[in-house]
Amino acid sequence: MDWKKYEKEIYEHFKGQYPDAEITLDAKKDGLFSKTKRQIDILIEQHVAGNRIVIAIDGKYFNKKVDVKAVESYISMLEDIGAHKGLLISKEGFTEAAYNRAHFGSAEIELEILNFKDLHAFQSHGAIPYAGNNGALVPSPFGWVVDGQTTPAWLATLYQQGRTLGEAMQDNEFMYIQFWDRHKDGDSLEDLLNLQEEMFRENDPECSIEFLPTIRRKDIKTKLRVANTKNYPTPKYTGFVEFEDFIFFCVMFSPVNRSKSNIRKLENIMEAVRPIKIEHQDANKPMQPTADA
């Protein structure tokens, strides 16, 4: 893949993500301070609640990690064009200093890795995890893939493109998906939250549990929880979606300097996931859900 195809791939993705927005490839915009034309790889402009939102996306087709100087330069460009949000994408990733600058600065900027050359056969851009007759259509968030290999602990996992699950777990940056069957015990989302809180406190009486503001879905309950316990190397974020027959939940671990961006990915999953019914045509029993918190 050359840089033109790389840029086009990014463009096509965001056309699908923002169907009602005005999206321009290789845009030019007047700098507010530089008083010159600035080039933007992909410019997204959309009206939200009467306000015009500007998102600038830049793809770095480098053969090495993007460093903090490139992030600083991009932040300056965002300010110059009056962008509300920026997305800087690299095929080889970013240095830790670059991640820190993007995360802890005041500018709304995300850093993403997009690299297709090392994708493994079991990775995909969406999946249908299931337990019993309950299934869910789960799209992968931008820059990540879904790994459909199941274990007793999860129905599917998600992590950055081009990586293995082992690498992602070693870096504490991955998600896993599970279901909770509502018909088995008649549980509601509140019942499940209370049960999991009991499990947290049994393992760590001093753990802290907090619920964060998150997306809303019509007629469907959603919750976003973060738990800090001595047993985990990072905060444990969990997004819940209460469907009629089961509760979908996605658990995420993330380094602190990637948490803002990764929480958005988790919320994208919560917003997009759809329930389906699975019909089994053989005698093999599917994996059963667990009570894992």
Q: What span, in angstroms and rounded, lies between the C-alpha atoms of 286 and 160?
A: 27
Q: Mean pLDDT throughout 101-106?
A: 81
Contacts of 229 (CB under 8 A, 6+ apart): 200, 203, 204, 207, 236
pLDDT score at 230:
87
Rounded CA-CA distance 239/267 in Å is 7
User: Quick one: pLDDT band at residue 235, thresholds 50, 70, 90?
Assistant: very high
Q: Which of 145, 151, 68 is nearest to 111 (CA)?
A: 68
Q: For the chain, give the longest Cα–Cα distance.
A: 70
Q: What is the pLDDT of residue 17?
A: 73
pTM (whole model) above 0.85: no
Residue type at 127 in one-letter notation? A
Q: Where are the beta strands (DSSP E) in 81-211?
A: 85-90, 109-113, 123-124, 126-127, 130-131, 134-139, 144-147, 156-160, 174-181, 208-211
* Residue 110 confidence (pLDDT) above 80: no
8 Å CB contact between 48 and 14: no
In the chain, what are the domains? 3-113 (3.40.1350.10), 123-277 (3.40.1000.10)
- Indicate whether 167 pLDDT > 60: yes
Write the pLDDT tens digit of every residue in 168-202: 999 999 999 999 999 877 789 999 999 999 999 99
Residue 227, both tokens? 């738990």
pLDDT tens column, 58-88: 888 788 888 999 999 999 999 999 988 888 8
